[in-house]
Structure 1
Amino acid sequence: MKHCLNLIIAIVLLGVGVPEASAELRLAGIFADQMVLQRDQPIPVWGWAEAGDKVTVILLDQTKSAIANEHGAWSVTLKPSEADSHCRQLRVESGEQAIVVNDVLVGDVWHASGQSNMAMTVGAMAKELEPVAKDIAAAELPQLRFCRINEPESSKPLSDLRQRATWSVCGPKTVSHFSGVAFYFARRLETELNVPIGVIDTSRGGTPIEPFIPRAAFDSHPTLKKELELGDREDLEGIWKLPGGVRARDANWLPGRLFHSRLAPISRLGVRGAIWYQGESNSGVQEDPRDYQHKMRALINGWREAFGNEKLPVYFVQLPGSGAGEGWPYLREQQRLATDLPNTGMVVTLDLDGAGIHPPNKIDVGERLARWALAKDFGRSVPFSGPMFERQEIQGDRVILHFSYAESGLMVADKDGLAEPRETPQSELEYFEVTGSSGKWHPAKSTIDGKKVIVTSETITSPIAVRYAYAINPENCNLYNRDGLPASPFCSRPELLSYDPKLP
């Protein structure tokens, strides 16, 4: 498909001079050339004009009008449209003014957010992974569109973006600036579905989860309530000292602040779902990962409420082993516990090679996220999850572990770089531990029995719980299902885990 003419969004005056600012017709800042609108959902279009003015919106074969209210706000909702790869024009008119948005496609729109591992670009990946250069050269993918929102924080929800958004068409000259995770996620979806894919990236490096949670969702747990109270007072030290709190370094870390500026202004826009990669800044040096599962649920439920979709799919990434700190094992478990929400899925990344806090292999991360979307949202028959602990069965000195997503059976395997995992039947399962009534954890022997794992220990003859891969950087975690996806770290009785951060 040839690229459509890329024009800058502009106000077109029909035979008159520039109107007064109060009478200026405006369209919400997320609407810009090269954007993607969500298919198969009502299409909201909104903006501002002189109070009482009639505003008409034209898209495809639809025309709809509204009257600007006493504050100048107007909005219309167009009927759902099927996916459309042809370049269309969105036109908004009021009196002698018109706004034209060119090169509009209709497909699936996804939010991508979190911190620096979501923000890490394809170009940054290419510096460490040679195969990425080939992907950049082959990235002539005009159905992929990316929008990066970099708004600074705000103490209150904003009605519009401070700076008009810019959408970019994916190509060899632009793809290096896109989120690596989001690019490989979107590329897989576009390949499988053959529809336009739009990604809105609102991530910000170094931030905890709190600034991305809507204010209303902080009412869901005592720790969150206290964080919001302290955040409203901008008491950074108080949030840091709070059990289950976070080391807030500046206003960008405070509750709701980035949701207010980056997501609230575009919350009316129709989207298919969201992907999320965060956790490092809730479990770093002198940071307390306790209660993260409640924060994760608050984020998901808060977004669903704000976006008007109680079933919004949200797929997130569990922390890797690379660059890990002492709080990471606990936070990984907290992330696993948050998967109890419907229409969510978690990608395990412990088996991906890397060094430092930004492992470069975002290819597998994006592909694994896409598997969840393809299976759950589009009914594709693709494996989408590695084994997830389901329940334990204690028989004397043995603990029998049962897993979901183990229908294909379990195996011991090794993953080398970007290659598919390779079964290594002669290798022993690693990183299983068992505990008894003393609460002390001991290394255990573990063997696969079809879809189950049997755990024993010469030290513990009356076991009460098992944990797997509970280490800062558990290299060579080698439990997989036969679909080639890794098992999540887990503790069979999470209440036995404790974390005592070195708070100030």
Structure 2
Amino acid sequence: MKNNKLRTYVLLLVLAVPAVWISAKVRLPHFVTDSMVVQQQSRWTVNGSADGKKVSVTTSWNGKTSTATVGADGKFSVDIVTPKAGGPYTITFDDGSKTTLRDVYSGEVWLCSGQSNMEMPVGGWGKVMNYEQEIAAARHPEVRFLQVKKQIAYTPQADTEVNMGGWRTCTPATVENFSSIAYFYAREMSKRLGVHVGVIDCTWGGTPAEAWSAFEGVSSVPGFENETRMLSDNGFDKDRLKADYESRIARWMQLALSDDAQGEAGGAPSVVLKGDNLPSMPVPNLWEKTALPAFNGIVMMQRALDIPQDWAGKAVELRLGCIDDEDVTYFNGVKIAEGSGYNVKRVYTVPAELVKAGRAVITVRVTDFEGEGGIYGDNADLAAVQDGSEISLAGDWQYKVIADFSKLPHKPVSPESSSFPTVLYNAMLYPLHTMPVKGVLWYQGCANVGRAEQYSPLFRRLIQDWRKLWNDDSLPFYFVQLAAYLQPKAVQPESEWAALRQAQADALQLDNTAMAVAIDIGNPDDIHPKNKQEVARRLSLIALRRSYGHNDVVDRAPSVAGYDISGNTAELTFDGEVKVDGTSPTGFIVRTDDGKWAKAKAVMTSDDTVTLTAEGNITALKYNWADYPDGNLRGTTGLPVLQFSINKQ
């Protein structure tokens, strides 16, 4: 009896071992999936984990099998040499249970990264030019998409989460919420090259360059000492970083509301504004465009309204549009709500017991930390509503500056924010480095406007660190210069947008970089211009010429090759023929020996020469140097001439 029991136990044990072995499953990174494109003729390192002791990998393009040993931690790594462009192929991983990647193509892979203008989808919140037709026509099986999920981390990660379940073939359904520039670029390149093109959408709107930078890189650039010290002092630990930040921001807000940080009115903030001579601003509108240019701080904004008798004693819905960045809202001096999120529409309820017939006052305390601020949207977004009837809240609002953040030390950045240094590099970018790419397309910079002096070394270091990550010192890195934005000004030598564009151009010092100029396709009222097709086309011209040897392709307009400044005249010679949109060149400003800047008179004196004249002796000149400049010089293929600045030697 005992022997029978023993034999049964041994038999069950023997049967159990194969069961475990058979259930083994290879686990691959989230970005290694069916329908992917691998960079042709490259060495691709695939990391994964498995339950078996060994993993065999078989590639259908050559029928060869290689074997990797699984470590004690359950992880393995295998190098795969990819073939010339072609497919479809399969890749099979086997540790006793097979995992097969299907519909794999070898072709060209480009990493597309940056903030909202690179993120901007074909449809969705972006709605590019002719988006409905573009979506309907997006049936391109030779174009493949991978979209990295938005996430943050304080140390480099081994894997990253992705949307749509992994790589997807281009269809109307997959393209709608995918990067429009990445899509239009891939569409053009697949057509020109005749191969499959995979594009990786690794983007996050509103994010600065430092969030996409490596810890060592951002530590080398002045101005980030507080953040890098926070990371190292707190051991890169999430909970410790959060506690440290909460302490820092509390001290900063105390300072913001102290007398030293007050606006011109000074004094402690009052919930209800009083006085007949308070200034006003139009709402909805960003205050940078109206009453408070280049302002970050706290502003009390107020609007009076007459409550009808039949509204008394009933709850009222307040629709306040979007508020950038945070708000605390009061009704007749009583707080009713608070909100945050620059693009979130505020809809609040005034309790019935606060609603009385007659004059009422809505006061909104708006805090804008950086960039644009205020109450904005459409007129229809602002109203007090009850039982289907409404009172418009659009129009002039009184305001009072409570705190001017320009008088303060830099506001602490939340480590939970997508703007915190290194967090996107660690979580979204770093894991991808095991996958070879042909090059990088980058469109970012808006979130760094106002910090051009810092951006110049930061951006160059970012490029170098990304190349180091991919172990390729010559990895092509092609980027888009910021488009024109904000209201046109004829003379604006102090433009922060122009300064940031120049900081971007400084990266051209690095080998194998190039810049697509988009200054001519901006919109004064929209930071997200709709013509992303042209931006992608210009990037494709750069790639075709510089990465694929299409020397017949023109990828830039002529630039200044020489100049002569003498007295009140400046002669500029370009390295190619330039054309003028209109009758004479525009966009030039000059500084004369009295130190003042003014518009210059410009004429074309030959196909490649522009001559400027001024009222006094010229000491410096700039072209297209403004937030929204009006320069009209182009090359013969229509590409715009790059902005430039020249000081007399």
TM-score, normalised by the number of residues in structure 2: 0.65
Is 1:314 paired with 2:477? Answer: yes
Q: Give the aligned residue type for 2:37.
A: V
**Bigger mean CA deviation after superposition, 208-217 or 41-50:** 41-50
Choose between structure 1 and 2: higher strand proportion: 2
- CA distance in structure 2 between the partners assigned to 1:334 and 1:371 by the alignment: 23
Query: Following TM superposition, by how much is the alpha carbon of 1:331 offset from its aligned partner in structure 2, in angstroms?
Result: 0.7
- Counterparts of 1:12-27 in structure 2, within 5 Å, are 17=19, 24-27=25-28
Corresponding position of 1:446? 602
Corresponding position of 1:410? 578
- Counterparts of 1:30-49 in structure 2, within 5 Å, are 30-49=31-50
Corresponding position of 1:374? 544
Corresponding position of 1:416? none
The one-character-per-residue Cα deviations of 1:225-257 (angstroms, maximum 9, x if unpaired) are: 665335656668799989998984653111111
Q: Give the aligned residue type for 2:181.
A: V
1:293 is matched with which residue: 441, 456, 468? Answer: 456
Query: Following TM superposition, by how much is the alpha carbon of 1:172 offset from its aligned partner in structure 2, in angstroms?
Result: 2.5
Aligned residues of 1:110 and 1:274 also touching (Cα < 8 A): yes
Give 3-state SS (helix, strand or coil) of 1:252's partner: coil
Give 3-state SS (helix, strand or coil) of 2:100's partner: strand
- CA distance in structure 2 between the partners assigned to 1:243 and 1:342 by the alignment: 39
Query: Following TM superposition, by how much is the alpha carbon of 1:163 offset from its aligned partner in structure 2, in angstroms?
Result: 5.7
2:627 is matched with which residue: 472, 481, 501? Answer: 472
Q: Give the aligned residue type for 2:609.
A: K
Corresponding position of 1:356? 526
Query: Following TM superposition, by how much is the alpha carbon of 1:375 offset from its aligned partner in structure 2, in angstroms?
Result: 0.5
Q: Give the aligned residue type for 1:301.
A: Q
- Counterparts of 1:167-246 in structure 2, within 5 Å, are 167-223=167-223, 228-229=228-229, 232=232
Quick one: structure 1 residues 231 and 371, their matched pair in 2 at CA, closer, same or farther if it must change by over 3 Å?
farther
- CA distance in structure 2 between the partners assigned to 1:247 and 1:491 by the alignment: 34
- CA distance in structure 1 between the partners assigned to 2:138 and 2:109 by the alignment: 19
The one-character-per-residue Cα deviations of 1:181-205 (angstroms, maximum 9, x if unpaired) are: 1111111101100110001111001
The one-character-per-residue Cα deviations of 1:380-401 (angstroms, maximum 9, x if unpaired) are: 1211112334553323432233
**Bigger mean CA deviation after superposition, 167-176 or 146-155:** 167-176
- CA distance in structure 2 between the partners assigned to 1:107 and 1:298 by the alignment: 29
Corresponding position of 1:155? 154
- CA distance in structure 1 between the partners assigned to 2:189 and 2:161 by the alignment: 31
1:258 is matched with which residue: 411, 415, 424? Answer: 424
Aligned residues of 2:588 and 2:631 also touching (Cα < 8 A): no
**Bigger mean CA deviation after superposition, 294-303 or 238-247:** 238-247
Query: Following TM superposition, by how much is the alpha carbon of 1:104 offset from its aligned partner in structure 2, in angstroms?
Result: 0.6
- Counterparts of 1:96-135 in structure 2, within 5 Å, are 96-124=96-124, 127=127, 129-130=129-130, 132-135=131-134
Corresponding position of 1:87? 88
Query: Following TM superposition, by how much is the alpha carbon of 1:321 offset from its aligned partner in structure 2, in angstroms?
Result: 1.2
Corresponding position of 2:300? none
- CA distance in structure 1 between the partners assigned to 2:627 and 2:590 by the alignment: 17
- CA distance in structure 2 between the partners assigned to 1:438 and 1:231 by the alignment: 49
> What root-mean-square deviation, in Å, do the aligned CA atoms of Structure 1 and Structure 2 show?
3.0
- CA distance in structure 1 between the partners assigned to 2:208 and 2:408 by the alignment: 15
> What 5-or-longer segments of structure 1 have no aligned partner?
1-14, 414-423, 497-504
Give 3-state SS (helix, strand or coil) of 1:429's partner: coil
Give 3-state SS (helix, strand or coil) of 2:205's partner: coil
- Counterparts of 1:417-456 in structure 2, within 5 Å, are 424=582, 427-448=583-604, 449-456=606-613
- Counterparts of 1:477-496 in structure 2, within 5 Å, are 477-493=631-647
Aligned residues of 1:158 and 1:261 also touching (Cα < 8 A): yes
Is 1:346 paired with 2:515? Answer: yes
- CA distance in structure 1 between the partners assigned to 2:120 and 2:102 by the alignment: 29
Is 1:270 paired with 2:425? Answer: no
Query: Following TM superposition, by how much is the alpha carbon of 1:174 offset from its aligned partner in structure 2, in angstroms?
Result: 2.1
Give 3-state SS (helix, strand or coil) of 1:69's partner: coil
Give 3-state SS (helix, strand or coil) of 1:484's partner: coil
Q: Give the aligned residue type for 1:144.
A: V
The one-character-per-residue Cα deviations of 1:469-495 (angstroms, maximum 9, x if unpaired) are: 111212x4211111210012221249x
- CA distance in structure 1 between the partners assigned to 2:413 and 2:57 by the alignment: 43
- CA distance in structure 1 between the partners assigned to 2:116 and 2:108 by the alignment: 24
Aligned residues of 2:120 and 2:126 also touching (Cα < 8 A): no
Aligned residues of 1:336 and 1:490 also touching (Cα < 8 A): no
Query: Following TM superposition, by how much is the alpha carbon of 1:465 offset from its aligned partner in structure 2, in angstroms?
Result: 1.9
Quick one: structure 1 residues 253 and 39, their matched pair in 2 at CA, closer, same or farther if it must change by over 3 Å?
same
Is 1:395 paired with 2:552? Answer: no
Corresponding position of 1:365? 535
Q: Give the aligned residue type for 1:251.
A: S
Structure 1 or 2, whichever has the larger Rg, is 2
Is 1:384 paired with 2:555? Answer: yes
Q: Give the aligned residue type for 2:600.
A: A
Aligned residues of 2:121 and 2:128 also touching (Cα < 8 A): no
The one-character-per-residue Cα deviations of 1:390-425 (angstroms, maximum 9, x if unpaired) are: 55332343223344xx43x01112xxxxxxxxxx3x
Query: Following TM superposition, by how much is the alpha carbon of 1:78 offset from its aligned partner in structure 2, in angstroms?
Result: 2.0
**Bigger mean CA deviation after superposition, 72-81 or 101-110:** 72-81
- CA distance in structure 2 between the partners assigned to 1:370 and 1:232 by the alignment: 41
Corresponding position of 1:333? 502
Aligned residues of 1:293 and 1:337 also touching (Cα < 8 A): yes
- CA distance in structure 1 between the partners assigned to 2:512 and 2:500 by the alignment: 21
- CA distance in structure 2 between the partners assigned to 1:465 and 1:293 by the alignment: 22
- CA distance in structure 2 between the partners assigned to 1:157 and 1:65 by the alignment: 27
Aligned residues of 1:348 and 1:386 also touching (Cα < 8 A): no
- CA distance in structure 2 between the partners assigned to 1:389 and 1:153 by the alignment: 43
Give 3-state SS (helix, strand or coil) of 1:34's partner: coil
- CA distance in structure 2 between the partners assigned to 1:138 and 1:151 by the alignment: 28
- CA distance in structure 1 between the partners assigned to 2:128 and 2:512 by the alignment: 34
The one-character-per-residue Cα deviations of 1:279-306 (angstroms, maximum 9, x if unpaired) are: 11111xxx53332111111111110001
The one-character-per-residue Cα deviations of 1:151-190 (angstroms, maximum 9, x if unpaired) are: 4100110011246851110122322122111111111101
- CA distance in structure 1 between the partners assigned to 2:407 and 2:73 by the alignment: 41
**Bigger mean CA deviation after superposition, 171-180 or 114-123:** 171-180
Corresponding position of 1:7? none
- CA distance in structure 2 between the partners assigned to 1:190 and 1:103 by the alignment: 17
Corresponding position of 2:139? 140
- CA distance in structure 1 between the partners assigned to 2:602 and 2:225 by the alignment: 42
Give 3-state SS (helix, strand or coil) of 1:99's partner: strand
Q: Give the aligned residue type for 1:166.
A: G
**Bigger mean CA deviation after superposition, 34-43 or 387-396:** 387-396
**Bigger mean CA deviation after superposition, 220-229 or 301-310:** 220-229
Give 3-state SS (helix, strand or coil) of 1:488's partner: coil
Corresponding position of 2:77? 75
Aligned residues of 1:445 and 1:455 also touching (Cα < 8 A): yes
